Amino acid sequence: MDAPWIEVTNKVKSKKKKVGPDLDRYLGQNTKRYVTYGQAALIYSIPYYAFVKAAKEANACWKIRKTVIVDLDKFEAYVETMKEQKE
C-alpha cells in the first residue's frame, strides 16, 4: 500500500515594511526647510529645550517615527508674530 506523498511547506508571512514619507521630495524643492530640534537649536543659538517648547507652541513640529522635524518657515513666522506682539 503506497502512501500518498504529502508536501509540507513552510508558509511564512512576508511582512510589509512601513515606508515613511519621501522627505527628499520635500527637501529637494527648497520651498520649506526642515531640521531636527538639535540642528535648529544650533542654528538659532538657543538652548535645546527652549527651542523645543517654542517649536511646539508654533505648531511647527512633525513626528516621523522616532524623529521630530521642525518646519523653520512656520517657526520663523511664529517668532515674527511674537516679536510684533511685544512691541
Per-residue pLDDT at 52: 93
Which three cell numbers, joined as nine digits, stand for 2? 503506497
pTM: predicted TM-score of the whole model, two decimal places: 0.59
pLDDT above 70 for 59: yes
Q: Is 61 exposed, middle or buried (0-12, 13-18, 19+ CB in 10 A)?
A: middle
Mean pLDDT of 44-72: 92
Which three cell numbers, joined as nine digits, stand for 52? 523645543
Confidence of residue 30 (pLDDT cuts 50, 70, 90): low
Pick 27 or 54 by higher pLDDT. 54
